[in-house]
Structure 1
């Protein structure tokens, strides 16, 4: 039986904010709940340390506890949620060690992707034009959250153009904690969207010029930029502070 302590008066507001994203009851419910909760955790709508009470959250979403529990278990498997004795399910802190490990892996994969692209005779770089236009618009608004959503599409497209879409899927499997750190830390930096946009343009220029080594070096710096502001996270020690903490 879930017990909601009086010391968490903001939980109703948090749950309600997440529940505003409608569930399509004509489609499988559990995957939708999983996607909705995962996005809310990554965006820090549900911040580190926030308890997730099954009955209360399921009620807010208008779903039964069975599909909600299945979605919650997926989040536990990804280390986004943990179960604590006497407390229940709680959103995990952003783990610096996991962030460092994921960036290490992602950098190796994406360096190889851009090097391969630079070596190809036909690169189809013009197919990135629309994405870059949308990114430029986010840059003009200094909208890092909007830019963040387009960033995944950009990197995914690079992998597709290199003929290795599965490589990006490997990145996606490991980058959840990185995404949380990026949104929490980098979205607060004025001009960060513009900086990331310029980095994208530099990477594309190196690929167009057939300079695989430079493209790889630029990608390594781009992917690892979040580590510049992690402090102890770089050495894998401790956890990254929660928003507002």
Structure 2
């Protein structure tokens, strides 16, 4: 009689990668408060209490204190013992400093981006499409994040790591100011999309001076508007 052949063993399931560690209680509070400040759920001048945040996130007060201390070092809050944490309004000096730094960094890096590599143009087109989608949905916070990503992509393309780190340090301030600007000036949404399209068109055409002029005009106009009453 022919010998029986054992059936092949089923293939072993692919090994699962290491699971990401769950965020700590302090990290959860930190994210909750920071997102609330950046998307203007917590306006400048709002006083946050440890007890209120502990209840909102579902943690004890100890991680709340840790998170608030971290946010104070980032310049978003001012702690008052036994009272809570005040969400700091955006100051006129901070606005001026951010706009000035953006002009210096972005005009330099957009000149370095010409001739633009196809990968950069493709990424900018994708980010512009994302902005248009968020604008149509009325999600101004998401549109502002994609807006910031559009400019950051050009800065990263220059390959200067020091400039990249400097620009990244402006991220939270840019997001906060940008959301406030679009809420205060809803007509700015379509203008922002048009100005980004102008920057992209100049890069695609390989016109360095036009690209630099488009960036300079865009950031300057944002600066003029955002210097109004922004909280």
Q: Give TM-score, length-normalised by structure 2.
A: 0.78
Unaligned 5+ segments in structure 2 are 1-19
Q: What is aligned with 1:27?
A: 23
- 1:159 paired residue among 145, 149, 155: 155
Between the aligned partners of 1:93 and 1:115, the Cα distance in structure 2 is 34
Q: Rg bigger for which structure?
A: 2
Q: What is aligned with 2:146?
A: 150
Question: What is the RMSD computed on CA atoms of the aligned residues?
Answer: 2.6
- 1:70 paired residue among 61, 66, 72: 66
Asked if structure 2 preserves the Cα contact closer than 8 Å seen for 1:202 and 1:218, the reply is yes
Relative to structure 1, the CA distance from residue 71 to residue 220 in structure 2 (aligned partners, 3 Å threshold; closer, same or farther) is farther
Which deviates more, 157-166 or 35-44? 157-166
Q: Secondary structure at the match of 1:194?
A: helix
- 2:214 paired residue among 206, 212, 218: 218
Q: Does residue 132 of structure 1 match 2:132?
A: no
Q: Secondary structure at the match of 1:48?
A: coil
Q: What is aligned with 1:93?
A: 89
Between the aligned partners of 1:35 and 1:57, the Cα distance in structure 2 is 12
Unaligned 5+ segments in structure 1 are 1-23, 234-239
Relative to structure 1, the CA distance from residue 178 to residue 95 in structure 2 (aligned partners, 3 Å threshold; closer, same or farther) is farther
Which deviates more, 37-46 or 221-230? 221-230
Between the aligned partners of 1:53 and 1:178, the Cα distance in structure 2 is 26
Q: Does residue 56 of structure 1 match 2:45?
A: no
Relative to structure 1, the CA distance from residue 165 to residue 198 in structure 2 (aligned partners, 3 Å threshold; closer, same or farther) is farther
Q: What is aligned with 1:229?
A: 225
Q: Does residue 108 of structure 1 match 2:109?
A: no
Tell me which stretches of 4 or more aligned residues in structure 1 moved more than 6 Å. none
* CA deviation after TM superposition for structure 1 residue 216, in Å: 1.7
Q: Does residue 194 of structure 1 match 2:190?
A: yes
* CA deviation after TM superposition for structure 1 residue 123, in Å: 4.3
Between the aligned partners of 1:224 and 1:30, the Cα distance in structure 2 is 38
Q: Secondary structure at the match of 2:85?
A: strand
Which string of whole-angstrom CA distances, capped at 9 and with x for unpartnered residues, describes residues 90-114 of structure 1?
Answer: 1111111011101111221111221
- 1:79 paired residue among 71, 75, 82: 75
Q: Secondary structure at the match of 1:47?
A: coil
Between the aligned partners of 1:99 and 1:39, the Cα distance in structure 2 is 20
Asked if structure 2 preserves the Cα contact closer than 8 Å seen for 1:142 and 1:193, the reply is no
Between the aligned partners of 2:79 and 2:189, the Cα distance in structure 1 is 35
